[in-house]
A and B are shown apart, each in its own frame.
Chain A
């Protein structure tokens, strides 16, 4: 078998020398090791005050984006639900009535849109599948709750606000590779 580390030792049942039998030198050297840790800089991050920086591609809580006029982009095509490996997404589609053009961008919209955050594995396949650039995973964390029901996120949590300050920034995850991909208009996804 290949050793996992180069520190593995073969155990031998040899007699200890007198120096080893006294144990005190070993104890003292051990205590010096712990003492050196005593003065070491602690890697603790004081969570509520300090926060660890997320990686550029961190995938957290979802957002349903609106377009620049404040209309919901989602057209309830169901591609995200199909793409979801955890089957966390369900939605009910409805037809846009007259006068609702300000609210919904397309003629069809999602009357209800639910993501079960306990099932979601945050793989980001919904984001890849979405043809309307409506759903994104953001760098926000899903907050803990006391019961399972609260983890089924409805549209009131998922859809971002209309006002400018309530919009959720999703540009952080748009890395150079993603932007490069989006330039290629010949792909079905980017039309």
Chain B
């Protein structure tokens, strides 16, 4: 616990926070660009080269807009809502291993802020309190649409958290650890968890879509029925906070999916070409981000392809399809792990 250690941790936190923010900013731009390209349009291309300054223009616009707080709303909670949303969205990045470790002057510096031995549960905890931002904001607006949107959001997130947790249990059974860093380290070479747990990965990805309230599960903010869902009454940068939180959640979801199931910072065969450990670590970071960017693109690709679910379909999928499937996955995984013992029983 030296001073240098503290400085390095603080630098790491700041860098992760800055990267999260920049990626969230440019996700808004990427979303519009991808949507445009998928719909035979060009997307924003006026602000700067290929529209690269569009997020800056958007941010300026959101800051400049008039800020309205409904007079019948609960003012404190109305402000707390979006702040909480953004805060919880930013908190998950702490346990993600962004790379192996860099070594300078004989000291090893891990590229993970905190290797908590219950990292997976930490992610779940943060995700589960993430919905308070939406619920509080929706309730404090004192608006029927907002309340309905908030209630939809929370019931959807609670329902899909169950299936997500059950999918993760199968993963924990095969990896034997709750630490995210260890899970990432175990997947070196071709030992990606998606090859071991394909069904679990599928369930996890579907649940991740529902948890981030992205299409085709974007019922909380469906424009057609609920005007704007929980952020109907929000304007200016508070609205921006909610949108920002959604994009950060998307980034974090892509990160978690690539860390849990797609090898994290590992890439097969890279050890043959690069031998320097520092360079290898940096390559790992680059690979992780390549996977994350593909994940974000996948989120957008799905959003602009699939239509929105009806609410009963959503609940049916969550409770009657994904939860039984994930339990089946647990049973199958358990049977596979105990196959020798089971065979012994039959042989005797």
Query: Which of A27, A34, A44 is within 8 Å of B38, CB to CB?
Result: A34
Chain A residues in 8 Å Cβ range of B69: none
User: Does B337 touch A at the CB level, under 8 Å?
Assistant: no
Query: Which of B41, B302, B304, B305 is within 8 Å of A44, CB to CB?
Result: B41
Task: State which of A35-43, A88-96, A130-138, A181-189 sits at the interface with chain B.
Answer: A35-43
User: Does A85 touch B at the CB level, under 8 Å?
Assistant: no
Summed over the interface, the residue pairs from A and B with CB atoms below 8 Å come to a total of: 29
User: Does B117 touch A at the CB level, under 8 Å?
Assistant: no
Contact flags (1/0) for B281-309 with A, using CB distance below 8 Å?
A: 00000000000000000000110111000
Interchain CB contact under 8 A, A37 and B306: no
User: Does B311 touch A at the CB level, under 8 Å?
Assistant: no
Interchain CB contact under 8 A, B42 and A30: no
Query: Which of B37, B302, B306 is within 8 Å of A38, CB to CB?
Result: B37
**Contacts A31-B301, A31-B305 given: A38-B38 contact, CB under 8 Å?**
yes
User: Does B40 touch A at the CB level, under 8 Å?
Assistant: yes
| Nearest chain B CB to A65 CB, angstrom units | 39
Query: Which of A27, A33, A37, A43 is within 8 Å of B37, CB to CB?
Result: A37
Interchain CB contact under 8 A, A31 and B40: no
Q: Which of B19-43 contact A (CB under 8 A)?
A: 34, 37-42
The complex places the Cα of A40 from the Cα of B38 at a distance, in Å, of 9
The complex places the Cα of A43 from the Cα of B39 at a distance, in Å, of 11
Q: With CB as the reference atom, state the residue of chain A lying closest to B298.
A: A31
Tally of A interface residues using CB under 8 Å: 12
**Contacts A43-B40, A44-B42 given: A35-B301 contact, CB under 8 Å?**
yes
How big is the B interface, by class? Answer: 10 to 19
The complex places the Cα of A177 from the Cα of B112 at a distance, in Å, of 78
| Nearest chain B CB to A57 CB, angstrom units | 29
Interchain CB contact under 8 A, A27 and B306: yes
| Nearest chain B CB to A34 CB, angstrom units | 4
Chain B residues in 8 Å Cβ range of A27: 305-306
Query: Which of A31, A34, A35, A42 is within 8 Å of B42, CB to CB?
Result: A42
Contact flags (1/0) for A25-69 with B, using CB distance below 8 Å?
A: 001001101110110101110000000000000000000000000
Interchain CB contact under 8 A, A42 and B301: no
Chain A residues in 8 Å Cβ range of B305: 27, 30-31, 33-34
Q: With CB as the reference atom, state the residue of chain B lying closest to A40.
A: B40
Chain A residues in 8 Å Cβ range of B42: 42, 44
Interchain CB contact under 8 A, B301 and A37: no
The complex places the Cα of A27 from the Cα of B216 at a distance, in Å, of 11
The complex places the Cα of A33 from the Cα of B305 at a distance, in Å, of 9
Chain B residues in 8 Å Cβ range of A35: 38, 301
| Nearest chain B CB to A168 CB, angstrom units | 32
The complex places the Cα of A33 from the Cα of B41 at a distance, in Å, of 15
The complex places the Cα of A38 from the Cα of B40 at a distance, in Å, of 7
| Nearest chain B CB to A53 CB, angstrom units | 20
Interface centre among A27, A38, A40 (most CB of B within 10 A): A38
**Contacts A31-B305, A34-B304 given: A42-B41 contact, CB under 8 Å?**
yes
26 A-B residue pairs with Cβ-Cβ distance under 8 Å, sorted by A, are A27-B305, A27-B306, A30-B306, A31-B301, A31-B302, A33-B305, A34-B38, A34-B301, A34-B304, A34-B305, A35-B38, A35-B301, A37-B37, A37-B38, A37-B39, A37-B40, A38-B34, A38-B37, A38-B38, A40-B40, A42-B37, A42-B41, A42-B42, A43-B40, A44-B41, A44-B42
